Amino acid sequence: MTWIVSAIGPTGTALLGGALLGAYGSSRQADASSQAANLQSQATANAAAQQREMFDIVNKQQEPYRQAGYGALSQINTMLPQLNRMPTAEDLRAMPGFEFGLNQGTGAAGQTMNVGGGGSNVDLARRKFAIDYATNVGLPQYMTQQTNIYNRLASLAGIGQTAQGQSNTLAQNTAANIGQLGIGGASAIGAGQIGSANAMAGGLQGIGNSLTLAGLLRPQTAAAPTGYGTPVQSSPFDFVA
């Protein structure tokens, strides 16, 4: 310490001591800035993890509805060829109650014609009843049956579509939120590093300024004049003012 005092003087030593204290304070400030940035970054990471956890929970809850929708949509795709063609006699006969109604009707028509004389009119009456029954009763019932099946499957597919849409919206919002949190965390780290660097730079600049000022305030020693040859003697003829 003695050589510092002798080099820069008491005033310079005081200035340097103040600068060193300022540098220490800047170092503490830099540490605090870094710690605050790390805490904020960790908080954003925790928030992002919470967002992802909530998305996973809700997405899992929506899965049964999506599966039901997928199954219904698969059945609709399987039924499309059948839905897009005209029904056959076998399709109508396969409907519950159609065969029974047809037999009852043709039998009744035949009995009615037998009462009137029978003959070929019985077969004509049965055939006409079968055609009318298939056209006016069987076909509408078949189309209604197919429509009901399609509507039920479409309703299930719609439930799955709604669940999928909700999951899509949730996924987009979650991705956006996590992205913003990531940007915030990175910004916090960057701001902390900049703040720490500025604090350290300020402390070092204070030391440099103090040393410069101490050098300027240090007393200067006058140098002895140097000359060449013998000093010039005053002439007795010099005029005195």
pLDDT at 28 over 90: no
| pLDDT value of residue 42 | 75
Q: pTM for the full model?
A: 0.56
Mean pLDDT of 212-227: 54
102 lies in some domain: yes
The model's pLDDT over 76-110, given as tens digits with 9 standing for 90+, comes to 999 888 888 888 989 998 988 899 998 898 888 87
* DSSP symbols for the chain: -HHHHHHHHHHHHHHHHHHHHHHHHHHHHHHHHHHHHHHHHHHHHHHHHHHHHHHHHHHHHHHHHHHHHHHHHHHHHHHHHHHTSPPPHHHHHTSTTHHHHHHHHHHHHHHHHHHTT-THHHHHHHHHHHHHHIIIIIHHHHHHHHHHHHHHHHHHHHHHHHHHHHHHHHHHHHHHHHHHHHHHHHHHHHHHHHHHHHHHHHHHHHHHHHHHHHHHHSPPPPPPP---SSPPPPPTTPPP-
238 lies in some domain: no
170 lies in some domain: yes
17 lies in some domain: yes
**65 in Cβ contact with 163 (< 8 Å):** yes
**167 in Cβ contact with 56 (< 8 Å):** no
Contacts of 227 (CB under 8 A, 6+ apart): none
**30 in Cβ contact with 200 (< 8 Å):** yes
Who has greater pLDDT, 124 or 226? 124
158 lies in some domain: yes
pLDDT at 220 over 60: no
51 lies in some domain: yes
The Cα–Cα gap between 68 and 71 comes to 5
Q: Quick one: three-class SS letters along 147-210?
A: HHHHHHHHHHHHHHHHHHHHHHHHHHHHHHHHHHHHHHHHHHHHHHHHHHHHHHHHHHHHHHHH
| pLDDT value of residue 26 | 59
Mean pLDDT of 213-232: 53
Mean pLDDT of the chain: 74
Domain count, the chain: 1
The model's pLDDT over 102-160, given as tens digits with 9 standing for 90+, comes to 889 888 887 776 655 555 677 888 888 889 999 999 999 999 999 999 999 999 999 99
121 lies in some domain: yes
Who has greater pLDDT, 151 or 28? 151
| Of 23, 19, 16, 14, nearest in space to 203 by CA | 23
Q: What percent of the chain has pLDDT over 90?
A: 21
Who has greater pLDDT, 177 or 203? 177
**94 in Cβ contact with 77 (< 8 Å):** no
Structural domain that includes position 80: 8-216
221 lies in some domain: no
